[in-house]
Amino acid sequence: MAFDKSEVEKIAHLARLQLSDSEADEVTVRIGDILRLIDQMQSVNTDAVEPLAHPLDVVQRLREDEITEKDQREELQTLAPNCRDGLYLVPKVLE
């Protein structure tokens, strides 16, 4: 599968990462190498194989829908880079 710099720029944007032009060149080479390693998988025919998503064959446990946590809003917001009046502040989104 072709993998070039424009592909790197596209996935960097999808992953919300910023790359300089020279970084994008290096990443293109590195990820190209990694994809060649990954492509070894294609050597085996798996048409009849059921995918295994998870090592445990179990059903997700459910619990009663009840409040179990106490309100820790103030404590948790002390971790935020920028907070005021209980709100997380980010650069202006709407003019």
Partner 1 sequence: MIEKTVAELSVALASGDISSVELTQAYLNRIAELNTELNAFITVCDESALDQARAADAARANGEAGALLGIPMAHKDIFCTQGISTTCGSRMLQNFVSPYDATVVKRFKAAGAVTLGKTNMDEFAMGSSNENSFFGPVRNPWDTNRVPGGSSGGSAAAVAAGLCAMATGTDTGGSIRQPAAFCGITGFKPSYGRVSRWGMIAFASSLDQAGTLCQSAEDAALMMNVMAGLDSKDSTSIDRDVEDYTATLDDSLDGLKIGIPRQHFAQGLNAEVEQAIRDALREYEKLGATIKEIDLPNNHLSVSAYYVVAPAEASANLSRYDGVRYGYRCENPLDLEDMYKRSRSEGFGDEVKRRIMVGTYALSAGYYDAYYRKAQKIRRLIKNDFNAAFEEVDIIVGPTSPHTAFKLGAKSDPVAMYLEDIYTIAANLAGLPAISIPGGMVNGLPIGLHLVGNDFAEAKVLNIAHQFQQQTGWHRRKPSAFTQEG
Interface residues with partner 1 (CB under 8 A)?
1, 7-8, 11-12, 14-19, 27, 30-31, 33-44, 46, 49-56, 58, 60-61, 63, 72, 75-76, 79-82, 88, 90-93
Alpha-carbon distance 81 to 91, whole Å? 12
Q: Report, in Å, the least distance between residue 67 CB and partner 1.
A: 14
Nearer to partner 1, 18 or 84 (CB): 18
Q: Is 86 left (phi over 0), alpha (psi -120 to 50) or beta?
A: left
Count CA atoms within 13 Å of residue 63 on its CB side: 4
Q: Report, in Å, the least distance between residue 48 CB and partner 1.
A: 9
